[in-house]
Chains A and B, each alone.
Chain A
Amino acid sequence: MTALTLAPVAVRPRRPVGVLLAGSFLALVALAAALAPLLAPYAPEAIDLSASLAGTSAEHLLGTDASGQDLLSRVLYGARTSLIAPVLLLAVAAVLGVTLGVLAAWRGGWVDAFVSRLTDVMYAFPGLLFTVLIIAVFGTGMTTSVLALGLAYTPTVAKYTRSLALSESGKPYIDAYRVQGMGGARICALYLVPNLGRGVVGYLVVLFGEALMSLATLSYLGFGAQPPSSDWGLMVQEGQAAVVQSALLPALVPGTAIAAVVVSFNVVGVWAADRLGRRG
């Protein structure tokens, strides 16, 4: 008679420490953005020329910029636009991309060919160039930037959704709806799309960091958020001039904020997409 115990093998992959760290950091940032009016020591646009380019001190924990605006306050308020704008952008891309992707997968034939060629053409353009082109036509500003980038992200979402929808619509439960006599539009809207939800959301989470970065870039280039906004990308651009006066904080503070949030989102995003993808 033999008795033995095999070492227990973890059935579920453990949540890595990095994901936990990144996740808590993002939660903290979101909280800080929500509570900005309570947490910020100054109004973000309050100009105090007497305190121009001050270093860290008790009054200004992260120093000030050239106009003497408190950087901590600006970065806290800036978190709001910097987090909300990518969500709106992705919402635009999701609505358009999912519609196109599902349409292409469901109708097949020339519709699929048309949508696929369209996305290919858009892929061929560098995203930023395409966006700048739209902004050149419709003018600068945050709303135009969000819409333009939303359009620029549509092809990748459409392509991804199309492949998901192709495999999902081949499942017999979709056939069963057709056999029941249900119309194609209704099957897609009410039953196919909700079943793609997990996969698409996972993909969007991964895209979030990139979207935030793209928006910051537009603002940095002067196409996106306009002064006196506290958008992080804009803040980096404004702080750049101070670097030659050996004041690093005005560019460093928003730059670090962008980098930290983007990296955290990528860490969490990849983990979430993996989980959502596996379950879905």
Chain B
Amino acid sequence: MNSLMPPLAQGAAAAKPGGSPPQMPSRPMVMETRGLSLYYGRTQALKEISIEIEEKIVTAFIGPSGCGKSTLLRCFNRMNDLIDSVRIDGQVLVGGYDINGPDMDVIELRKRVGMVFQRSNPFPKSIHENIAFALRLQGLRDRSTIDGIVEQSLRGAALWDEVKDRLHTSALGLSGGQQQRLCIARAIAIKPTVILMDEPASALDPIATARVEELILELKKDFTIVIVTHNMQQAARISDRTAFFYLGALVEYDTTQTIFTAPSKKQTEDYVTGRFG
């Protein structure tokens, strides 16, 4: 299949037996949208959004329900394709490439831009198999390599110590917070460049939430993270840049410190102080 993305170095695509896991190309990767508008049928859900996502920081999307932040998030890995009535104007660029162009390989895109969902969705398989499934999609076959990456990912998601003795039991037996961390482990196992998180902690209790937040702060050393959250204190705690959306439009986009201590727009101030929304 035609792919405009830079080829993965040294062949995970070629599926060499016992091959090393795929390395991301070293050029810096930034995502942006230019005048992006999105329509569900006749309703306009996104209004000419132009935003740039910087690499290896945490960018937060905040705003009241229905403001379009999740919709925008899903544009970056084309998960909106799953909805029939969606139409897009404008551009979404990942690594400089227009991902809605005719030559874009969606499968490759989704391997570069991973996603963690609001409700944790581990496969009804064992913990090990959840991650191994993702690795086999990359073409990895060698047992020991897979085992190694499974361990590495579980460590990276701060889950290894809790599950190392029951890797082959069902993932559905884990607690909610553990399941979500497993989903994060699964997402980072294929070493994407960007991780999109759609309210990853909203279904979790405060302790599990704190652990996920701590994890995100660690992960941003290696990954670019974009997180949608309706919890403003969470955004203030973990993000570096924050974008405030309202009714499908980008109202304000600035450093997190500015947005939460001295926003420029009155709408932002009103939302952040809880006066509406």
Q: Do A and B come from one complex?
A: no
